[in-house]
Amino acid sequence: MELSEAVRRFAESPVAHLASVRADGAPHIVPVVFALDGATIVTVVDEKPKRARNLRRIENVASEPRVSVLVDHYDEDWRRLWWVRADGRGRIVHEGPELDRAIELITARYPQERARPPRGPALLIDVERWRFWAG
């Protein structure tokens, strides 16, 4: 698989898994909906029920911005397996044009988000390196 194909597969995947590091050094992995905006992955805290708006992933990135985002495809035919990982630095955006753009991208990509558009904050991940594999 070439880099352009890996990035295309990543961008077309409906869900990714965000890996960050807690303040105590423990790993934290959660599924996220996302959009790819050039070399930046965007995800926004949405309106699904949550205990708090300041999610663990937001706290984690605030203290340790290095993150990885993984998408993968499983198939019984292992020749069709693949994964793509983006490693980068996350930053939290609470207001302004970057938040507006993130909300626009997420609502355009996920019809479920249009009825109750997310308010944020947004997590923007500037991709520094792509890693990938295909069977």
pTM of the model: 0.91
Domain ranges of the chain: 3-134
Q: Classify each residue of 51-74 as buried b or exposed e, where b means 16 or more C-beta atoms within 10 Å of its C-beta.
A: eeeebebbbbbeeebebbbbbbee
Q: What is the pLDDT of residues 41-77, one digit of tens each?
A: 999 987 655 555 568 899 999 999 999 999 999 989 9
Least trusted range by pLDDT, from 3-17, 66-80, 91-105, 109-123: 109-123
The number of residues making up the chain comes to: 135
For 3-134, which CATH class?
mainly beta
Average pLDDT, the chain: 93
